[in-house]
Structure formats: structure tokens, C-alpha cells
Structure 1
Amino acid sequence: MMYSIPATSMPAAKANRVLRNSYMLLAITLLPSIAGAYLGALFPLMAQLGGIMTVVVFLGAMFGIQSMVIKNRHSVAGIGWLLLFTFVMGYFTGPLVGFALGSFSNGAELVAMAIGGTAALFFILAGYATVTKRNLASPSIGKMLMIGMVMLFAISLMNIFIQAPAVMLAVSTLFILIASGFIVFTINNVVRGGQDNYIMVTMTLYIMLLNLFQSLLHLLMMFSGNRE
């Protein structure tokens, strides 16, 4: 059930400023992400450490740097930690991009389609979350989305070792739905005054966009990939 709340909980000008700063910072995060992805494709950590240790390093880096972003979210240092976070996440995404480019004759097309699909989804979802009169940022919705994301994340980590195509298909599809919901929730939360820290907004949007991109690329490789 959706609940309506007054739109005056945060002045419109302030909400617009938070969103504008978030979108600007989100665009900047693409630079370290691309650099990290390039290095990750050239020097994948899994090739050196193996699957289990790579997962351990990934989890430690992700949660460790995230905690520093949260701790410094009210200072300029938070931006620095966020850019480091996006570089590291880009690095761990690099092997997936490298696999697509190296294993499929239409790999570059698949990556481009995943990027384009992610951008298109984001613009549609952001526009809807900004203009809708419905409250899509209630605590119950946020809790439901968080539980779904944690469960999918755990399943996706296990599937690294299982390598079950059916599980990958289901997880990728559900990640797209959950990540889309989080984007709407986050932006609508800003519009309604529930979040006024643009660093936190940017980090959440970045994580969801990365999930969208990875999930779309997985699905495109499964259904449209031409093996070399």
C-alpha cells in the first residue's frame, strides 16, 4: 500500500539541489569506474587468488570502503572515499566486461547495449520517481527492497562456485527489478525530504546502476551472445 505525505517536508529548491549534486557526482564516478574496469579486465584478481579469496577480498573492500563513505558523508573526504569505492567496484566489474569482449564476437555490442539499457532505465525511473505523487519511499518499501537485495547478493555469491545458468538467469532478472525499485525509492526519498545527503544518494544510485549493468550484460550474453 502506498501512503501520501505532504510534499512540503523539504523545500523543493533544497530537494532539487540534492538531486542535482547527486547526479553531478554520479557522472564523476564514471571516471574511476572506467579506470578500475580497465585494470580489472587486464589483471583479474580471481586469476591470482582463486574464487574464495577473491570473494573475501571483494566483501572486505566493499563493506570497508562503504563504511568510510558513510562515516565521512558530511565532509569532502566522503567524496574521496566514494570515488575510491567506485574505482574498486569498477575493478571487480572489469573481468565480466573482459569476458564479454573476449568470449563473444559481438561482445562490444553487448556491452554497449547493457550501458545503453542501464542509462535508459535510469532516466525513466528517475523521471517517474521525481514527478509521481505517490509515496514510494516508505520505510516498509525500503525494508522489503533491502531484504530482497541481501538475499539476491548472497545467492549470486554462492553461484560463483555453482555456476548454474538457471540461477544466473533468475538472479539477474530479479536484480534488475530490485535495483530499479531502489532507484525509485532513493530518488523519491530525496523529493519527499527523507534524505538530504547527496553523497549517500550518489553511492546508493551508483550501486544500483552497477547492478543493473551487470545483470543486463549477463542476460544479453545468455540470450544474444555469439560465441567465438
Structure 2
Amino acid sequence: MENKTVYVERGESSALQTNKVLRNTYSLLAMTLAFSALVAGITGSMNLPSPHWAVFLIGAYGLMFLVHKTANSAMGLVSVFAFTGFMGYTLGPMLSYVVAAGASDLIVMALGGTALTFFALSAYVLTTKKDMSFLGGMMMAGFVVLIVAMIANAFLQIPAVGLAISAMFILFSSGAILMQTSEIVRGGETNYILATVTLYVSIYNIFVSLLNLLMAFAGGDD
């Protein structure tokens, strides 16, 4: 009887910990998305140029490395806002270009599509509580394919390949959302800062990729 009581107490403690990580993750995600949108709006209104690809890679991966190094300390929050602010800065010029082209409705559509995708995927995992770790192998294969395709298209500059890459990014990022949410729900991820960064990057990639696809299709209709 005593062992059963201990087991129930541990189960309740685990459930409370999981709910705490979920609550903290979604709260921080909402704040970082809002901060990123604010930075994107400011940089877009200032008509700043898009950062060079080398600056983007160094800034994005450098700050992401910093987030992982400080995730278990108070500096982790500073790092995550620095990272998402930088990503918002890189997004500003692109949004400014779309607005200047008179296609601001595409931004709204991309936002709506991204939000619908995120909430649908999250709701599925939160409701079913399925273990999505089986996606790991496919995600690794998809990552390799994406890297190869991006390097190849850097030289080939084929529009159709660029669209295919955007579509693959949406699928890859959707898988990342499923896996990360499942990790939180099943108690495998206990650091809400790392969970937030993973979900933020997935949402960022889905939005940018979806916007690229919409712009391409809208351009084709003209």
C-alpha cells in the first residue's frame, strides 16, 4: 500500500512538472514572438537592408549556441530574447519588401497559416499524448536533404528548387513541433528555454517558407 502511495505521488509530481514546463514554454514563446514581431516592425519601417548571409548564419547560430550554453541560468532568458530579436531583425526587410509590393495580405495569410499549423499540431500531441520520437530518423534524413538542396540551389538558382526547399522546410518544421511538444508532454524535455527556442525556430521557418510560397504563386498569377 505504501509503495502504491509513493507511485501515485510521483505520478502527480511528474504531471505537475510537465504542466509547469508547458505553461512556461508557451508563455515565453508568446513573449518572444511578440518581441520578434516588434523588432521586425521597427527594422522594416527603417528600411534596413537584409543582412548578408554570413552575418545571418553567424548571428543566428552564434546566439543559438549562447542560448544552449546559458539555458540553465538566468542569462538564458536574456539569450533567448537576444536570439529572437535578431531573427526579428532579419525578418524586417523581407516584410518591408512585401508591403512595398502591395502584397501585405500575403503576410496576413502566412501568419494565419502558420498559427493554424502550430495550434493544430500542438493540439494533436496534447490531446493524444503520442510519443513522436519515431520521427527522429526521418527528421535527420530530411535535415540532410535540406542542407544538400540549399547548397545545390545556391549555385543553380532554380526557382522550382527554391519552392521545393520552402515546402520541405514546412514539413521539417512541422515534424519538429510534433517532436518537441511530445518531449514536453512525456517529460523528456524539462528546460522550457530550450523548448521555446525549438518551437520558435519551427514557427519562424514555417512562416518564412509559407510566405515565400505565397509570393511565388501570387507572382505567377500576375
State the TM-score, normalizing by the size of structure 2. 0.85
Whole-Å separation in 1 of the counterparts to 2:172 and 2:201: 12
> Which of 118, 121, 143 is the equivalent residue of 1:122?
118
Query: How far apart, in 2, do the equivalents of 1:86 and 1:37 lie?
Result: 10
Is 2:219 the partner of 1:216? no
Q: Is the 8 A contact 2:50 2:94 kept in 1?
A: no
Partner of 1:192: 186
CA 1:225/1:69 → structure 2, altered by over 3 Å: closer, same or farther?
A: same
Aligned to 1:21: 24
For 1:158 and 1:9, locate their aligned partners in 2 and report how far apart those are by CA, in whole Å: 51
Indicate conservation of the 8 Å contact 1:15/1:196, yes or no. yes
Change (3 A) 1:10 1:222: farther
Measured after TM superposition, the shift of residue 224 of structure 1 is 2.7
Q: How does 1:20-169 map to 2 (within 5 A)?
A: 20-41=23-44, 42-46=47-51, 54-103=52-101, 105=102, 107-138=103-134, 141-149=135-143, 151-153=145-147, 155-156=149-150, 159=153, 162-169=156-163
Q: Any gaps of 5 or more consecutive residues in structure 1?
A: 1-7, 47-53
- 8 A contact 2:22–2:184 mirrored in 1: yes
C-alpha distance after superposition, 1:174-212 (max 9, x if no partner)? 111110010000000111111110000000000000000
Say if 1:114 and 1:216, in contact at 8 Å, map to a contact too: yes
Between the two structures, name the one with larger relative contact order (CA 8 Å, sep ≥ 6).
Answer: 1
Rounded Cα–Cα distance in structure 1 between residues aligned with 2:17 and 2:43: 38
**Corresponding position of 1:203:** 197
Given residue 115 of structure 2, which amino acid in structure 1 is its aligned partner?
Answer: A
Give percent identity, aligned residues only. Answer: 40
Q: Higher helix share goes to which structure?
A: 2
> 1:219 corresponds to which letter in structure 2?
L
- Structure 1 length-normalised TM: 0.83
- Structure 2 unmatched ranges of 5 or more: 1-10
Pick from 10, 14, 18: which aligns with 1:11? 14
Size of the alignment, in residue pairs?
210
Residue 11 of structure 1 aligns to a residue whose secondary structure is helix
The 2-side partners of 1:173 and 1:44 are apart by: 26
**CA distance in structure 1 between the partners assigned to 2:13 and 2:122 by the alignment:** 18
2-side partners of 1:221 and 1:9: how far apart? 49
Q: Could you tell me which amino acid in structure 2 is paired with residue 102 of structure 1?
A: A
Q: Which has the larger radius of gyration?
A: 2
